[in-house]
């Protein structure tokens, strides 16, 4: 047991153990995990749907806690789906950011809502 492990690896291992202890493997197909992920993402979005922007002063303590829990649920399903798919999330994010850098050159899209709309 080390203390300097990377958080994404640490959470992956904890999520693996959690599912294994409950024999939930058979339910955790990539398809089911992807579906569960969209459900949790929508539960997160639900907190914001009637708010102007979701800025902190628009929230109360109950909403802040709900948002924190839903953020966690999305992350946990995301980590499990990446795990089932053999994807290294950090590497994938770095690769995608590089692609985004080429697709949206800063000097062409800066502050431009219309271009960003097509993002």
The residues in 26-45 that bind a second copy, with binding defined as CB under 8 A, are 26-27, 29-32, 34-39, 41-45
Residues 7-26, interacting with a second copy (CB under 8 A): 7-8, 10-11, 14-15, 18, 21-24, 26
Which tokens go with 17? 């153990």
**Shortest distance in whole angstroms from residue 23 CB to a second copy:** 4
For tokens 């946990």, name the residue. Answer: 76
CA dist 61 and 109 (Å) reads: 37
- Quick one: which of 79, 56, 105 has its CA closest to 6? 79
**Shortest distance in whole angstroms from residue 105 CB to a second copy:** 9
Three-state secondary-structure class, residue 2: coil
Give the CA-trace dihedral at 79, 85, 91, 97, to 10 degrees: -90
Can residue 54 be called a binding residue for a second copy (CB under 8 A)? yes
**Shortest distance in whole angstroms from residue 110 CB to a second copy:** 5
Can residue 61 be called a binding residue for a second copy (CB under 8 A)? no
Three-state secondary-structure class, residue 10: helix
| Contact with a second copy (CB under 8 A) among 16, 96, 102, 103 | 96
Interface size with a second copy, residues (CB under 8 A): 77
């Amino acid at each position: 047991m080390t203390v300097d492990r990377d958080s994404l690896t640490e959470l992956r291992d904890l999520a693996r153990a959690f599912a294994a202890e409950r024999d939930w493997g058979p339910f955790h197909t990539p398809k089911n995990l992807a579906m569960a992920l969209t459900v949790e993402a929508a539960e997160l979005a639900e907190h914001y749907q009637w708010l102007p922007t979701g800025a902190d002063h628009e929230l109360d303590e109950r909403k802040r806690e709900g948002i924190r829990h839903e953020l966690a649920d999305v992350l946990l399903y995301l980590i499990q789906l990446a795990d089932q798919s053999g994807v290294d999330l950090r590497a994938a994010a770095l690769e995608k950011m590089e692609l985004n850098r080429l697709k949206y050159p800063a000097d062409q899209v800066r502050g431009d809502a219309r271009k960003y709309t097509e993002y």
